[in-house]
Structure 1
Amino acid sequence: MTSNSDSDASNAAKDFFAALPHAAALGIVPEKIAGGHAAMSMPWAERLVGDPASGVVHGGAVSALMDTCCGAAAMSHGQAGGGAATLGLRIDYMRPATPGQTIRAEATCHHVTRTVAFVRAVAVDDDAGRPVATATGTFTVAAP
Structure 2
Amino acid sequence: MKTNPDFFPLTDLATRFVGQLVQCRRLGLSVLEASEQHVLIELPYSSELIGYPDTGVIHGGVITTLMDTACGTAVVCNIFDKYKSLELSPTLDLRVDYMKPAEPNKSVYGFAECYKLSSSVAFTRAIAYQDSIDDPIAHAVGSFMRISPEMVGDAFRQALMGEGK
Higher strand share: 1
Give the counterpart letter for 1:69 in structure 2. Answer: A
Is 1:120 matched with 2:121?
no
* Closer/same/farther in 2, CA of residues 20 and 58 from structure 1, 3 Å limit: same
Task: Look up the match of 1:141.
Answer: 146
TM-score (norm 1): 0.87
Q: C-alpha separation between the residues in 2 aligned to 1:142 and 1:79?
A: 15
Task: Look up the match of 1:100.
Answer: 105
* Closer/same/farther in 2, CA of residues 121 and 43 from structure 1, 3 Å limit: same
- Unaligned residue ranges in structure 2 (runs of 5+): 150-165
Task: Look up the match of 2:135.
Answer: 130
Q: C-alpha separation between the residues in 2 aligned to 1:88 and 1:24?
A: 23
Given that 2:11 and 2:31 are in contact with CA atoms closer than 8 Å, whether structure 1 keeps it comes out as no
Task: Look up the match of 1:22.
Answer: 23
Q: C-alpha separation between the residues in 2 aligned to 1:138 and 1:27?
A: 24
Identity across matched positions, percent: 33
* Closer/same/farther in 2, CA of residues 105 and 53 from structure 1, 3 Å limit: same
- CA offset at residue 12 of structure 1? 4.7
* Closer/same/farther in 2, CA of residues 45 and 70 from structure 1, 3 Å limit: same
- CA offset at residue 29 of structure 1? 0.9
Q: C-alpha separation between the residues in 1 aligned to 2:10 and 2:119?
A: 15
Runs (4+) of structure 1 exceeding 3 A deviation are 4-14
Given that 2:32 and 2:42 are in contact with CA atoms closer than 8 Å, whether structure 1 keeps it comes out as yes
Q: Report which of the two structures shows the higher radius of gyration computed on alpha carbons.
A: 2
- Unaligned residue ranges in structure 1 (runs of 5+): none
Paired residue total: 141
Deviations 1:40-70 (A, max 9, x none): 0101100000000000000000000010000
